[in-house]
Chains A and B, each alone.
Chain A
């Protein structure tokens, strides 16, 4: 009897770990260990093939003196700030589409479309849109101002041009999150608020938005992370140019250590570690908030 009970007990203790094992193992192998390796490599001067030399914090010291690093960092901040516009824009479109009109499903699908297509395609479409000879935007700008501006060739505007391209699918993503959230709002509550004289913005602010908080939180998480890991659009649209002005940290890292000309593995790893540290700040905030909510629930 006693052995029976103890085997049951150990089953209860063991089962969760057994179920977690495959995922945990892969996570360890492909995420945790590589993070450790990156940190480790960042202390070396290494070309990826030959012998690695321990140089301590020299890579980080070099970063602090590197103008390209500051350009990338500044661009990442721009990405982060402007990418957040996707949240109110997505909300606005979701509110607009949250009505019963014939064909609304079609409109919703059309608005969602940019999220479905590949980032590479988004980048290409916007490159053509900005292209000096046949693009639509320079034509419009030329008509309005008299001078055709090539957005992606101008270091003042190029980053913003890429961010605008990135916003297109990101707004669609936030819109879907909000549409789902709006679906979950009890229509009787909206009616009760109407009886309570809440109209227009007051209704949105006091009744609808508070109930969309879970959606807003997820939208914030995916948008912040999306902004920090922006890479593909930069790579497709400008490859970091003109004159490296559109680099972001991830692209800068790729350029230094993985591209055709880059063999500075240690230096690239140092950039990756810095980017990781920045992300860690945000992710810790998100996780703390989630844990707090779970505890309150």
Chain B
């Protein structure tokens, strides 16, 4: 078991900087998820930890040992690839035990570890099959088995569920979670799916354009996003952003005037703004109510999901706003909707996209 520490890690391909100096601490036994849009460098970062990509500058240590010049097989890490990368000419048994044979383990030891992993992953009856004779979920489990038998200090997952259908993805998500609970190993998991990140992670690292936007627990990122990017990336459906201007008001409060003239009075929580400062108000669809409130919008689309109703509406200044309303709420497309805002749930971002006020409901 080991912690993973990254210090000022960078990666360049020629003149192009892919990873722009990342500092990160991943504690021993933590389940850490790298999340971000495609091309943000999350897979590259994972491959650098695995040793499959060279580190241009900075230091990487696993369990306190500097790893920059250590071969992938010597780092005590195991990786589950997006394509599973099973060896097509080998049986499941050989696929799982190949790494152990390559590192010179004794046959009895290999057999014991193979049995244990196969039991844990319910692969025992499939050991003599070739990968081509397995379903997607089974292949996925073989790939995980191949990682488990090596008893690594750190597991690396590179978008392991993206090739599975929705139902299987949910199932494998819980299986990987259970695996983490059983093995208590450090796991680093890359995904572009923020739902996967929210449900599995102990710690989420949001990456964008080769830099860390924010790292923290799922709820911390949900309630206290540091900037517009994280606010927009974490949470589904996405947070609404409405442009406006802020001004100081009485009792340390802040008054925000939105584009269509609507006013929202926020608890300043110690933040200061200048008069007529341009800001962006962020509010999640689930913190808006249909009816009884300060914002007037025209409904463009209503989705009745039974448990809830999603209204996609348009404010007078043309900006779109989504409202997650009660399942019984009704409004026809084209009708006017009064939207209620919970001021305590409003986030405020300055013109650089940095959060001034967190709409943290947990406080």
Supposing A195-B77, A197-B73 touch, asked if A186 and B102 sit within 8 A by C-beta, the answer is no
Check: A192 CB closer than 8 A to any chain B CB: yes
Chain B 78-90 interface mask (CB, 8 Å, partner A; 1/0): 1101110111111
Of residues 174 through 208 on chain A, the ones whose CB sits less than 8 Å from some CB of chain B are: 186, 188-189, 191-199, 202, 206-207
Interface of A is mostly: helix
Cα distance A197–B74 in the bound complex, in angstroms:
8
Contact present for B102 and A189 (CB under 8 Å): no
User: Does the CB pair A202–B79 fall under 8 Å?
Assistant: no
Is A188 a contact partner of B102 (Cβ separation < 8 A)? no
- B74: nearest residue on chain A (CB-CB)? A197
- Please indicate the chain B residues that have their CB under 8 angstroms from the CB of A199 in the complex: 71, 73
Q: How far is the CA of A188 from the CA of B83 in the complex (A)?
A: 7
B259 within 8 A of A: no
Chain A's nearest CB lies how many Å from the CB of B244? 48
Would B87 and A195 count as touching, CB distance under 8 A? Answer: no
The answer to whether B83 touches A197 (Cβ under 8 A) is no
- Given the known inter-chain contacts A191-B52, A192-B79, please indicate yes or no for A197 contacting B85, CB distance below 8 A: no
- Cβ contact of B102, chosen from A191, A196, A211, cutoff 8 A: A196
- Which residues of chain B have C-beta atoms less than 8 A from A210's C-beta? 87, 89-90
* Contact A195 B72, beta carbon cutoff 8 Å: yes
The interface size bin for chain B is: 20 to 34
**For the complex, is B50 an interface residue (Cβ under 8 Å from A)?**
yes
Within the complex, what minimum Cβ distance (angstroms) separates A257 from chain B?
48
Query: How many chain A residues touch the partner (CB < 8 A)?
Result: 18
For residue B340, CB closer than 8 A to chain A, the reply is no
Identify the closest chain A residue to B147 (Cβ). A195
Asked if A186 contacts B73 (CB within 8 A), the reply is no
- Which residues from chain A contact B63 at a C-beta distance below 8 Å? none
On chain B, the residues within 8 Å of A211 by CB distance are 88-89
Q: Enumerate chain B residues within 8 angstroms of A192, measured Cβ to Cβ.
A: 79, 81, 85-87, 146
Instruction: Tell me how far the C-beta of A99 lies from the nearest C-beta in chain B, rounded to whole angstroms.
Output: 16
Does A195 contact B99, Cβ atoms closer than 8 Å? yes
Any A CB within 8 A of the CB of B103: yes
A198 to B78, CA, bound (A): 14
**Is A189 within 8 A of B99, CB to CB?**
no
Task: Report whether A198 and B102 are in contact in the complex, using a CB–CB cutoff of 8 Å.
Answer: yes
Bound form: Cα–Cα A192–B98 in Å: 10
Return chain A residues, CB-CB under 8 Å to B79: 191-192, 195
A211 to B87, CA, bound (A): 9
**A186 and B83: CB pair below 8 A?**
yes
Residues of B whose CB lies within 8 Å of any CB of A are: 50-52, 71-74, 77-79, 81-83, 85-90, 98-99, 102-103, 146, 150
19 pairs of residues in contact across A and B, judged by CB atoms under 8 Å: A186-B85, A188-B81, A188-B83, A189-B85, A191-B52, A191-B79, A191-B81, A192-B79, A192-B85, A192-B146, A194-B51, A195-B72, A195-B73, A195-B78, A197-B71, A197-B73, A199-B71, A202-B102, A210-B89
